[in-house]
Amino acid sequence: MAVPQRQPLWAIYLIGFLIALLFFKLPWWLAYYSLRANRPRKSWTLRRTIHVQIFRQVTKLFMEFGIADGRDLSMEVPQKELEPLNARFVWIPELEDDLVGIVAEHAARAGVKSIAIPAYWMLREGSKWSPEHEKAQKDEKVVLYFHGGSFAAGSAYPSHMTAAIPKGLLKYSTSLSRVLSVDYRLSSGPPTFGPVNPFPCAVIDAIAAYRYLVCEMGFLPQNITVAGDSAGGNIALAVTRYVVENRLPHLPPPGGLIPASPVTDMSSSHASADSSHYLNAASDIFDLSPYPYLRSDDFRGYVGEIDAEGTKENRYLSPASKFAIPPDVDGDIRLFSGFPRSYIIGGGAEQLFDDIVALAEKMKEDGVDVTVDFPPDAIHAYFLFYWHEPERTESLVKCAAWLDGRPAEVDVELAGQRGDDLV
Ligand SMILES: *[C@@H]1O[C@H](CO)[C@@H](O)[C@H](O)[C@H]1NC(C)=O
């Protein structure tokens, strides 16, 4: 944690923040939002409304003070610590093969290259690592997962909040027995946005992890599904694009893709007065005031040297941008030609919703087999929050069914969980 702990000012601020939250804001919210008409979404329970408000305060605090919860990626985690979490630490070796295409060009310009990075094998609850896990089993299915956190925070550590997706898929899928969750290198976030690990650093780590699954572990590419939430969804799309576009003989494309509340347009080309960016500013977990929505400026640590024009046109950074340039401008290779079957998740109450819808539409237009799950009143990355039921469990159950290639059977009893309404 990058908390400036020895600064007395920080401690005073934090105490003030907590007092204001507990004794002023919370009572006010409880009163104000007890009226359903005042809630950002009328269907929301009071409990959910308060959770979102608290989350907004905390994300704002984190952004103002540059608190990131990433781990020191040079350290190995002892196996003893991971045993109770059904997980196993592994080093992903650095890429031996040369990078190619746009990613290679940007890597040279940004001066970034591949290094060994940590990752975690996450197993089904109750199962233990055994010698047969050292290689892929015949026809074994696997999910390669990238956590969220604005490219600057978060961790693949198996008890981190973002582990909800790998855990959910392992719980509800009948064909999946493990997930590889990658601790890709983080860039620098607010307020400093220092020049740390800019694009395509995280994409290079993702390519190394994909190569590890195929070339070292022996998974069949068709048996690999690449998934990620938020910034991790952007990275999942980017690594898939890399292997689709470059047609590397040893790295064929994966069999599936799950972008969950993905960041898909850092240029906000779909933002307008009546787009989700504005309309959902009050119903999402980010309070970005004075700006209403996430902009490329909020990702400038990751975007690095790439200018506004580049951010708008770069299909790796902004695949859903109106201005993304396809791989083959004159020919018939479209922006998403060759992409695997995809399951796209997005919340109707999130700012980035219109970008996610644009992504799904573009992919369908380009011939990709796309399934969408867009619960109307759900916030950004709702599937991570235990207080965002029933949407959270319903989505994990449906996504796991899609992964297994069977129809979803959403348990109607799940809907009963709405009963924890406080009103
Ligand atoms: C893995 O891929 C192979 C080849 O495409 C396929 O036959 C098999 O059914 C896949 N395994 C699973 C569990 O989907």
Digit-coded pLDDT (tens) for 226-242: 999 999 999 999 999 99
Determine whether the shortest distance from the Cβ of 21 to ligand 1 is under 6 A: no
Determine whether the shortest distance from the Cβ of 222 to ligand 1 is under 6 A: yes
Rounded Cα distance between 279 and 293, Å, is: 10
Determine whether the shortest distance from the Cβ of 223 to ligand 1 is under 6 A: yes
* Residue reference for tokens 């996504």: 399
pLDDT attached to residue 6 = 55
Report which residue type is found at 387.
W
Rounded Cα distance between 228 and 144, Å, is: 8
For the full predicted model, state whether its pTM sits above 0.85.
yes
Q: What is the dihedral of CA 247, 214, 317, 71, to 10 degrees?
A: -160
Report which residue type is found at 231.
A
pLDDT attached to residue 412 = 46
Rounded Cα distance between 250 and 379, Å, is: 39
Report which residue type is found at 227.
A
**pLDDT level of residue 183 (50, 70, 90 thresholds):** very high
Tokens of 231: 């910034």
Determine whether the shortest distance from the Cβ of 337 to ligand 1 is under 6 A: no
Determine whether the shortest distance from the Cβ of 174 to ligand 1 is under 6 A: no
CATH 3.40.50.1820 residue window(s) in the chain: 79-422
Contact criterion met (CB below 8 Å) for 259 and 303: no
Instruction: Estimate the crossing angle of helix 8-19 against helix 46-65, to 10 degrees.
Output: 170
Spacing, Cα 241 to ligand 1 middle (Å): 21
Which amino acid residue places its CA nearest to atom 4 of ligand 1?
A: 222
Spacing, Cα 406 to ligand 1 middle (Å): 14
Catalytic, out of 155, 187, 230, 261: 230
Spacing, Cα 219 to ligand 1 middle (Å): 10
**pLDDT level of residue 60 (50, 70, 90 thresholds):** confident
List, in order, residues 6 or more apart from 369 with CB less than 8 Å away: 341, 342
Rounded Cα distance between 175 and 169, Å, is: 10
Spacing, Cα 220 to ligand 1 middle (Å): 8
Compute the mean pLDDT over every residue in the chain, rounded to the nearest whole number.
Answer: 91
Instruction: Look up the CATH superfamily of 79-422.
Output: Alpha/Beta hydrolase fold, catalytic domain (3.40.50.1820)
Catalytic status, residue 230:
yes
Q: What pLDDT, in 10s, does the model give residues 258-280?
A: 999 999 999 999 999 999 999 99
Rounded Cα distance between 124 and 128, Å, is: 8
**pLDDT level of residue 1 (50, 70, 90 thresholds):** very low
Determine whether the shortest distance from the Cβ of 137 to ligand 1 is under 6 A: no
Q: What pLDDT, in 10s, does the model give residues 129-180?
A: 999 999 999 999 999 999 999 999 999 999 999 999 999 999 999 999 999 9
Contact criterion met (CB below 8 Å) for 234 and 137: no
